[in-house]
Amino acid sequence: MLNKTGVPTAEDIKTVSPSEERLIKGPVAIIECFQEIPCNPCTEACKQGAIQPMEDINNLPKLDFNNCNGCGVCLSRCPGLAIFIVDASYSDKEAIVRIPYEYAPVPQVGEKVVGLNRAGEELGSFEVHKVQSGGQKNKTYTIWLVVPKDLVMDVRGIRLGGVRHAAKETIVCRCEDITLDEVKSLISQGYRTIDEIKRVIRAGMGPCQGRTCRMLIAQELAKVYGIPVGDVLMPTFRAPVKPVKLGTFAGGE
């Protein structure tokens, strides 16, 4: 399901969710990282020892909820925007969801924005409680959103002021620095599949092997050709599906 739609299932979410007891105690990270990609800034970012060091850089991060204080440092360091901080202890009826955000313009404190679920569906209009800049070198903002308590594990994105469109220079493939504009330009020339686009601009040929850009390109193709994302022809997956040390092939490791 995740490979086909880019949306994690309820079962996927269960594997990264804290117990109800931990959830109501206070802020805690939710690491929604489901693809084995060569990436580990989250493990380096956590000074509480809550995210275990990885033996293999392709491993999925493992979080000890009881050691996590919800500081949010990992959220702003995750290039995959896969980490959220939730605080179900905020008030009797409301919770805070902290969401990584890299679009422009950045919402303002007090502004009402549309809260979205993991599939991009609207869940309601929610107030921005706080906006945290990632600092001079880090363009990831953290948006603190006040949401009804029962939506704390559902709200995972925001949209400002109705329909917005990503800027042309938005990066679609982070490994190869491919922009949305480059992808759109190929689609407008008649390219119809992810494979065709990959062969021309290398989107999906970097270390993560398309785990991020594949679904973003599929969404663009679906939009232009008026078909469901699930109907976009997926590329063929060939071994090795994740980076492997040459020593493994040589039988040495």
Q: Of 33 and 155, which has the nearer Cβ to ligand SF4?
A: 33
Per-residue tokens: 138 = 């880090």
**Where does residue 83 fall: left (phi above 0), alpha (psi -120 to 50 degrees), or beta otherwise?**
beta
CA–CA distance from 129 to each of 112, 113, 126, 174 (Å)?
A: 10, 11, 9, 30
Give residue for tokens 């901080």. 85
Per-residue tokens: 24 = 């109501």
Q: Of 53 and 124, which has the nearer Cβ to ligand SF4?
A: 53
How far apart are alpha carbons 164 and 103 in whole angstroms?
A: 10
Question: Binding segment for ligand SF4 among 41-49, 96-104, 176-184, 187-195 (CB under 6 A)?
Answer: 41-49
Q: Of 170 and 185, which has the nearer Cβ to ligand SF4?
A: 170
Among 78, 86, 95, 232, binds ligand SF4 (CB under 6 A): 78
Q: Of 49 and 161, which has the nearer Cβ to ligand SF4?
A: 49
**Interaction of residue 89 with ligand SF4, rule CB under 6 A:** no
Question: Binding segment for ligand SF4 among 45-53, 113-121, 164-172, 214-222 (CB under 6 A)?
Answer: 45-53
How far apart are alpha carbons 230 and 232 in whole angstroms?
A: 6
Question: Cis peptide before 53, with omega less than 30 degrees from 0?
Answer: no
Taking the complex as a whole, the smallest distance from the CB of residue 187 to ligand SF4 amounts, in Å, to 27
**Interaction of residue 217 with ligand SF4, rule CB under 6 A:** no
Contact 19, 65 (CB under 8 A): yes
**Interaction of residue 178 with ligand SF4, rule CB under 6 A:** no
**Interaction of residue 72 with ligand SF4, rule CB under 6 A:** yes
Contact 7, 32 (CB under 8 A): no
The residue ranges that bind ligand SF4 (CB under 6 A) are: 29, 31, 33, 39-42, 45-46, 48, 50-51, 61, 63, 68-74, 78, 80, 82-83, 85
